Structure 1
Amino acid sequence: MSSPRPEPDDVDQALEARVAHAVAPYADLLPAEDLEALRALTTRFLATHPVAAPLVDRLRPRTAPASSGEVDRRDPAALAEAAQRLAEKASAARGRGRGSPR
């Protein structure tokens, strides 16, 4: 469960903190315009990369739930489809175990 990403106009504290941490070693090495370009590139990477963005999402503070209880994490149809594929795979594996050719 992740928090919704902030709107582009909002300041994203979690993202800004990670970007500042990432570019800090280069602050004394790069000219100001290059440092700003590195900051922009790092921000875009952390906000859009399919692996990095969910990790940054995990750093964002979560709001407390309004109530307790069970939450559906998956669509029942998707769970049924996954169960069917798993059953077919298990059935095929049992067939190969009895000396059947692959």
Structure 2
Amino acid sequence: MQCIPNSLLKTEDVRILEITLPPHSREEMHTDAWAAIAYVDQPAQVRHFTPDHPPAAQPTSATGVIRIQPEGLHADENFSDTPIHLFRIELKHALQEQSGTVSPVVN
């Protein structure tokens, strides 16, 4: 099974995707051109792949909102027994942060 992105909205300013990554599946290598806010409503354990580094296991994702910076070539693998499900809101004109690629949104 593969990652299932569903484009819900696309404008000059934003793109909203609904993404499901089934259990024990890996998405194709891709880039993310824009900063994004993601709302994860079904978490899972994920391994992150890049061409230059061995896969890195990420902590089990939590439900909630995270901020994601643009990223070069990469892929994620869901090695859980449950699917991961999220909504990704890509901000095409957002200013980029200099530190890290993923950070929680704090109220």
Same fold (TM over 0.5): no
More helix, by proportion: 1
Q: Which has the higher contact order (CA 8 A, sep 6+)?
A: 2
